Structure 1
Amino acid sequence: MSKSAAGLLILALLSGAVHFSLFEDTDLSLPLVGCGIFAVLFVLALAAGRKIKFDPVLR
């Protein structure tokens, strides 16, 4: 897992925790929207990390 994917995972978990701790009675809040955006970006970062290969041989 890349550093950017790990950072996005942490941001998604933290914003989800903020939503559930502060906005228990509302269905949609800004931290929940942020959680969804960070989760999508996390999945994209995981997919991009699989496709990019590092070539250690410099030519």
Structure 2
Amino acid sequence: MSKSAILLLLSTLACFAAALLAPPQATLLSNTLGGAGGVFTVLFLAALVVGRRIKFDPLLR
């Protein structure tokens, strides 16, 4: 896993953890953190796909 994928994974986990730990009165904050976590999740998956393409070896034996 690349460094950017690890960073995005940690960002995703931090956003979702903060969204769950936010007080019930802070609905806007919780929704914003959940949305940011979703964006980081998509970027994390994209980083994994890009990392696979770089390491792909099409050599057929």
Q: How does 1:44-59 map to 2 (within 5 A)?
A: 44-53=46-55
Residue of structure 2 in register with 1:11 after alignment: 11
- Distance change >3 Å, CA 16–CA 5, structure 1 → 2: same
Measure, in 1, the Cα distance between the counterparts of 2:23 and 2:33: 9
Runs of 4+ with >2 A deviation: 23-26
Alignment counterpart, residue 36 of structure 1, candidates 10, 13, 38: 38
Aligned-residue sequence identity (percent) comes to: 40
Q: What's the CA shift for 1:52?
A: 1.2
Kindly tell me the number of residue pairs found equivalent between the two proteins.
Answer: 54
AA in 1 matched with 2:6: A
RMSD: 2.1
Structure 2 unaligned regions, length at least 5: 56-61
- Flag the structure with higher helix content: 2
Q: What's the CA shift for 1:29?
A: 0.7
- TM-score normalised to the size of structure 1? 0.79
- TM-score normalised to the size of structure 2? 0.77
